[in-house]
Structure 1
Amino acid sequence: MSIDYLDHPKDEKKLRRFQRKVTIVSAGGTFLDGFDLTIIAVAMPLIIQQWGINALEQSILVASAIIGSFIGAAWLGKLTDTFGRKKMITIDLFAFVVFAILTAVAPNVIWLIVFRFLLGIGIGADYPISATLVAEFSSTKNRGRQGTFLAMMWFVGAVTAYISGVLLLPLGETAWRWMFLLGALFALIIFIFRIGLPESPRWLASHGRQEEAQQIIYDLTGNRVEIKPEPQRKVKISYLFSPKLRRRTIFVTGFWFCYATAYYGISMYTPTILSAFTEGSQQATYIASSIVSIIGLVGAFIGMNLVENWGRRPLLITSFAGLTTALVILTINSHPTLTFLVILFSIAVLFSNMGGGILNFVYPTELFPTNIRAGASGFATSISRIGSILGVLVFPNLVAAWGNSAALGFFAFIGFSGLMITIILAPETKGQRLEDINDESFVEGK
């Protein structure tokens, strides 16, 4: 199937307005992902103070939403290929609203863990749903920029979580509940704006609904197109490891796993690490952590503006090289100062987010065909969540056993592994139509 109406519309202004709407409301989901996954790091010191939870309960609480997102990405990503992008992108946000409210009123740590886990299912689902919808409505020349904008909004959400912590801290021991409730308010607003989005014409055409696809194309572009019916092929997730897709699957899951392991291992414990250097000031810890998070956002913004000019492959190679270098320097300094930690953590997340943190929303949607695109993206997301869980659970235990330097050395090795995977396997997809990328003639590794 060839759908090139997005590259040559009659009504270009109307299409551009619609593409902006799709990108923004989809990015609202990734904003919530960043906010909800980061707010637990901000709220944790207050929860510990109020409930006196032990180290095991802390690690389970931090990991609960990430474990939920592993299930949500693997399960709901596949359902998106079956039931459509439109249905799932709306249902997904409804789950955000309900479970964010429940986390805010949780009576004890057990229920908080349960509600965070259920919230995580929605978080994991939103990655493949939003990224796939944006990719399928994007023009070839803007697809990378629009996909990376989605990813950048994750870091806007993370920064918002830290700012919320600073602003709500004066509310005292209940401040963490208001932080979670704020996430529910954000989700409700985005849910309202997502209602009314049309279905992806590519998905409709791939399910034999050519007339509906043609009507949506006409409504958006003014172009009358004829889409020829194609045999419907239902594919299993095992197709990702077929000879045609195996290399792509290993690359996407490999680089995303390495990025997630390093990023989550560092970012989820940044406040904990820095608190030892702020003389017990919770506000100073939040401010220092906010600086690191803001620099990470700057990195994502830089990457978003380079992705279409520089290309995906060189951007990702530079990202892992910079991340690994910063982590090696952190590893060899066994007696750091607060300023040194803030600067090096900032450099590490700047480089990591410049490539790995934004191209995880681009490569998975580009390298797989329509009938398995969301499922492939969901599968890659679920593998990355294994890395996230590993980073979150391994880091505190490594610190307890061998100290910060050994823990950071472990993540430096993970960063180097991501660099090698990228150099060996990463293709360049800049300027290629989705149908061309998934054509047999597309050459890998260039």
Structure 2
Amino acid sequence: MTATTSPTTRAERLDRLPFTREHGRLVFGSGLGWALDAMDVGLISFVLAALAAQQQWGVTSSELSWIASIGFIGMAVGATAGGLLADRIGRRQVFALTLLVFGLATGAAALSWSVGALMVFRFLIGLGLGAELPVASTLVSEFAPARVRGRVVVWLEAFWALGWTLAALIGFLVVPGSDAGWRWALALGALPALYAAVVRWGLPESVRFLETRGRVEEAEAAVRRFEQSAGVAPVESPLPTPVAAPGPRALWATGTRLRTAALWTVWFSINFAYYGAFIWLPSLLVANGFTLTKSFGYTLVITLAQLPGYALAAYLIERWGRRATLATFLAGSALGAGMFAAADSDTTVLVTGMVLSFFNLGAWGALYAVTPEVYPTVLRATGAGAAAGFGRLASIAAPLCVPPLVDAGGTGLVFGTFSAFFVLGALATWGLPERRGQTLEDDVPMPSSVAA
């Protein structure tokens, strides 16, 4: 009797591949868009400090808070809507569209004539940015081989540090140069609009998404593109069963609700602490007696500490696993925020700020690696977008909370509060699944509303 073997699915064919030039093109193509996004988000912290120092439009601290927060309101809407669209029309299309939206809106923001106009443009920028990040990480995770998937997504997230560093350089070199320096800085953020066309035609669509929509020929062509890059001969794969996207209610169905609750808690905690700290950091340093140029210079050095944080997270996520790495970096972030709260000299401000930056951005890398692994393919982008959208509620609240916290207890109370949120996030990680070395199809419960 001859033994028979099960046909190899296209997902399994992708998971068996080594990391190839095609994977590198995907990470670079997605990561460049990610870096441009980070540059835009990072620039607003320098714009706020410049507007306050120059007394543009007689802006108040409350208005500065709203300029920061309105972008995050757009990000909350964009993340949720973008995830839903990506599970219906595809990851690549949504990725390109979001780059175009926020790139054009950033260019328009440079022409703002009032606080109200700047806030409108910041909202539109947030719509595009909020949708892009979870969709890009979902696309990359669905192509990365299982044994290095977490590391590859952390590499993608590391482009955020490159973009934020570029923002810090622009903030340091361009913004203080003149009263119109902040306008020139925002004008540079319009570059993603030119890049959108490259993304739309250069990156492949997710094989797993294509199969759920019954687009088998396109899925097969995408797999063979990666197999050819690896020098691997293609094999026949079975026909997939098309599955409709179930919608956001499935996130709270039996089998997924505990994972969703844990994931949302981590996203909320890290957003509150990160954006509360880094959006206001240049302004807080100026308020504590630093000159505008010195504040921007310190922020640049603190930002550079993100890069080794990502590198260590990328190494540990396939050695320790997702939960342990994420929890460790969140705990380190809590320590860094607590130390920054107690900093009492220029040197300690710089060193503790670097510690916070190192651990915080390593935690972000681990979180983006974990998030797409929590849900099945038909719910993956929806779940990632919803978690990011819920987290953005915290990024809306955090900049608004900083001024009253400063009034109540100074910088120490502000960063002590951020430390407490990091601790909450670290505790919540233990409700997440550990998916190291597994395929995206392994141990992912199908919500009861979908399975039925």
The reply to whether TM is greater than 0.5 is yes
2:211 paired residue number = 205
Q: 1:96 aligns with which of 84, 95, 102?
A: 102
Larger displacement relative to structure 2 (268-277 or 111-120): 268-277
Query: What pairs up with 1:356-371 in 2 under 5 angstroms?
Result: 357-371=364-378
- Write the mapping of 1:408-423 to structure 2, written as runs, cut at 5 A: 408-422=415-429
How far 1:2 sits from its partner (Å)?
6.1
Task: Give the SS at the match of 1:429.
Answer: coil
Residue number among 226, 231, 240 corresponding to 2:237 in the alignment: 226
Give the length in aligned residue pairs.
431
Identity of aligned residues (%): 31
Indicate which of 159, 166, 189 corresponds to 1:160: 166
Aligned to 1:267: 278
The Cα offsets for residues 161-202 of structure 1, whole Å up to 9 and x where unpaired, read as 110112214640111111011111255246435423222111
Q: Is the 8 A contact 1:313 1:426 kept in 2?
A: yes
What displacement does 1:317 show? 1.7
Q: Which whole-Å deviations, capped at 9, do the CAs of 1:351-380 have from their partners, x for residues lacking one?
A: 12222x112211111111110111100001
Q: Which moved more, 1:184-193 or 1:247-256?
A: 184-193
Counterpart check, 1:298 vs 2:302: no
In the other structure, the counterpart of 1:310 is 320
Contact in 2 for aligned 1:86/1:199 (Cα 8 Å): yes
RMSD over aligned CA atoms reads 1.9
Show the counterpart of 2:450. Answer: none
The CA distance in 1 between the partners of 2:274 and 2:61, in whole Å, is: 21
Normalization by structure 1: what TM-score? 0.92
Question: One-letter code of the match for 1:421?
Answer: A
Q: CA 1:189/1:429 → structure 2, altered by over 3 Å: closer, same or farther?
A: same
CA distance in 2, matches of 1:124, 1:225: 38
Q: CA offset at residue 128 of structure 1?
A: 1.9
CA 1:426–1:219 in structure 2 vs 1: closer, same or farther (change >3 Å)? Answer: closer
Q: Secondary structure at the match of 2:178?
A: helix
Could you say if the C-alpha distance between residues 347 and 321 of structure 1 is closer, same or farther in structure 2, counting changes exceeding 3 Å?
A: same
CA offset at residue 156 of structure 1? 1.5
Distance 1:439 1:170 in 2: 53
The answer to whether structure 1 residue 257 and structure 2 residue 246 are counterparts is: no
Contact 2:35 2:162 in 1 (8 A): yes
Residue 277 of structure 1 and its aligned partner are, at CA, apart by 4.2
Displacement of 1:26: 0.9
Matched ranges for 1:60-139 at <5 A = 60-139=66-145
In structure 2, what is the Cα distance between the partners aligned to 1:93 and 1:325?
Answer: 35
| 8 A Cα contact 2:98 2:131, kept in partner | yes
The answer to whether 1:394 aligns with 2:401 is yes
1:145 aligns with 2:146: no
- Cα distance in structure 2, aligned partners of 1:73 and 1:345: 29
CA-CA distance at 1:278 after TM superposition: 4.6
Partner of 1:21: 25
The 1:138–1:23 alpha-carbon spacing in structure 2 relative to 1, beyond 3 Å, is same
Structure 1 residue 385 and structure 2 residue 396: aligned? Answer: no
3-state SS in 2 of match to 1:6: helix
Larger deviation: 284-293 or 401-410?
A: 401-410
Which deviations, in whole Å up to 9, do the C-alpha atoms of 1:4-58 show, x marking residues without a partner? 111335xx6xx71111111111112221221111101112232231322112211
How far off its partner does 1:338 sit?
2.2
Q: 1:365 to 1:163 in 2, by over 3 A?
A: same
Q: Mark the CA change 1:166 to 1:186 in structure 2 (over 3 Å): closer, same or farther.
A: farther
Distance 1:196 1:409 in 2: 45
What TM-score, normalized to structure 2?
Answer: 0.90
Given that 1:28 and 1:190 are in contact with CA atoms closer than 8 Å, whether structure 2 keeps it comes out as no
List alignment gaps of at least 5 residues for structure 1. 441-446
Equivalent residues of 2:79, 2:389 under 8 A apart: yes
Do the aligned partners of residues 178 and 437 (structure 1) sit closer, same or farther apart at CA in structure 2, a change above 3 Å counting?
Answer: farther
Distance 1:172 1:200, change over 3 A: same
Residues 264-312 of structure 1: CA deviation (Å, up to 9, x unaligned): 1111111112124454x21111011111111123212221232222221
* Aligned-pair CA distance for 1:59: 0.7
